[in-house]
Structure 1
């Protein structure tokens, strides 16, 4: 379980970032997941009250981008996407208490966005092709 590439982001809209080059993650069971260039992410959907505890732009952001992409693309089940998030947090050296509290957060609240995606109610996930010239 490891990221095979570095995360390269640029601010896009307020509260949103664009992935500038493909980000690859190899899971503990050998599958490779690729967050494609041009994907738009909010890094982490952390409730305002907890933002002093969890930094959306901190050490966990690479795992958060992977998780956002897995929810958007729905290449896995929601349970597997959340488990991959937990695993990716561990691979980045996030401490046990922090990674488990983040995992429990997505397990308890992630169903809202997952269901929007499965019903086709979410917004565009990628920047227009012209963005890269």
Structure 2
């Protein structure tokens, strides 16, 4: 089965409290409509409206090359949801979240080097959030 974004996310700037899975001071976005992603295995993953994300935890000095928004935004939202809620609520390992980031990023016309660099960044830098307990946060923050 071909992976697909079934319902596209709609986001706006978040001005509320910083959620525990986002480094203090990072700009955040909130989903104003849910996002639904169908994996290659046919599983539906629903990110609810009201979920707050920093999109991609990419250091600011790299934003000109790997912006946290744009063509990888949907993959970043999916990955953030799985990292912040996957282990505790959904019972999925971090490698699953990282693999779905790569799968979702493959739906866009992203250059191969950018897709590989983004996936490597997720594998290396995403560990902190998983280890620090993002995946145990019980409920999404609602707008």
Shorter-chain-normalised TM-score: which range? 0.7 to 0.9
Number of aligned residues: 127
Secondary structure, counterpart of 1:81 in structure 2: helix
Two-structure CA RMSD over aligned residues (Å): 1.9
Q: CA deviation at 1:7?
A: 1.5
Whole-angstrom CA distance in 1 between matches of 2:112 and 2:47: 25
Q: CA deviation at 1:118?
A: 5.6
Q: Which residue does the alignment assign to 1:96?
A: 112
Q: Give CA-to-partner distance per residue, 1:82-133, whole Å, 9 cap, x none.
A: 000000000123222111110111111111001112685x6x7412xxx4xx
Is the CA contact (8 Å cut-off) linking 1:71 and 1:117 kept in structure 2?
Answer: no
Runs of 4+ with deviation above 4 angstroms: none
Whole-angstrom CA distance in 2 between matches of 1:71 and 1:103: 14
Q: Which residue does the alignment assign to 1:12?
A: 14
Whole-angstrom CA distance in 2 between matches of 1:47 and 1:39: 22
Q: Which residue does the alignment assign to 1:79?
A: 95
Alignment match of 2:74 (pick from 51, 62, 65): 62
Q: CA deviation at 1:2?
A: 1.1
Q: Which residue does the alignment assign to 1:52?
A: 64
Q: TM-score, normalised by structure 1?
A: 0.87
Q: Which residue does the alignment assign to 1:117?
A: 133
Secondary structure, counterpart of 1:24 in structure 2: strand
Whole-angstrom CA distance in 2 between matches of 1:62 and 1:118: 19
Alignment match of 2:141 (pick from 123, 126, 133): 126
Go from structure 1 to structure 2 and tell me whether the alpha carbon gap of 1:119 and 1:26 turns closer, same or farther (over 3 Å shift). closer
Gaps of 5+ in 1: none
Secondary structure, counterpart of 1:59 in structure 2: helix
Go from structure 1 to structure 2 and tell me whether the alpha carbon gap of 1:24 and 1:48 turns closer, same or farther (over 3 Å shift). same
